[in-house]
Amino acid sequence: MERLIPIKAKSDILPAYRNTPIETLLNYQNLNAPHAVYEKAELLIGMCMDNRKHLRLPENFAFIIRAGGGNLRYSEFKVSYAVAIGGVTTIALLAHTNCGMVNLMGRREQFIAGLVEKAGWDQEWAEAHFMHFAPMFEIGSEVDFVLSEAKRLRLRYPKILVAPLLYRVEDSQLYQLREGTL
């Protein structure tokens, strides 16, 4: 956890994020900054579908794409839309602690049994479905994944600022992540 950089005061915000929508996001979530009024989105947030996360954000401030693990590999057209049409210049990628997309294989039997019992699926379909998709959605480790996903998006969208952050479900705070370049 030594890669986490908490934000308890404005001065904790990394220089690379100052005067950007990432600073604004951190001010809202961690420092309870009063909400400003926005006519258009300033930020795209990619985050997990998990129900335990609540962002304290004003209306219109951000586009949000939610997907398992905050994995945007299968949401690229939506990212492109937010950039090209929505005009956002910044992406905040939020990993979170205790993510269900870590160690999916460990939940294989539960997943298959759940689909059979709760959704009425055939056992074989459920097994095939899990085995087809689990490798695509497995993220391995929350922090390592969000750092690599940020690198990928920076290559794909070179003019866009991409910030990998960690949301701790334990305290609902966002944490900056130490990278080689910051």
Site residues for Zn ion per CB under 5 A: 48, 50, 99
The DSSP code for 34 is: P
Q: Would you say 50 or 149 has its CB closer to Zn ion?
A: 50
CB of 89 to Zn ion, least distance (A): 26
Q: Would you say 138 or 179 has its CB closer to Zn ion?
A: 138
Structural contact between residues 141 and 102, judged by C-beta atoms closer than 8 angstroms: yes
Encode burial over 138-174: b for 16+ CB neighbours within 10 A, e otherwise: bbeebbebbbebbeebeeebeebbbbbbbbbeeeebb
CB of 49 to Zn ion, least distance (A): 7
Counted residue by residue, the chain has a size of 182
Q: Would you say 47 or 153 has its CB closer to Zn ion?
A: 47
Q: Would you say 60 or 103 has its CB closer to Zn ion?
A: 103
CB of 29 to Zn ion, least distance (A): 17
133: left (phi over 0), alpha (psi -120 to 50) or beta: alpha
CB of 93 to Zn ion, least distance (A): 12
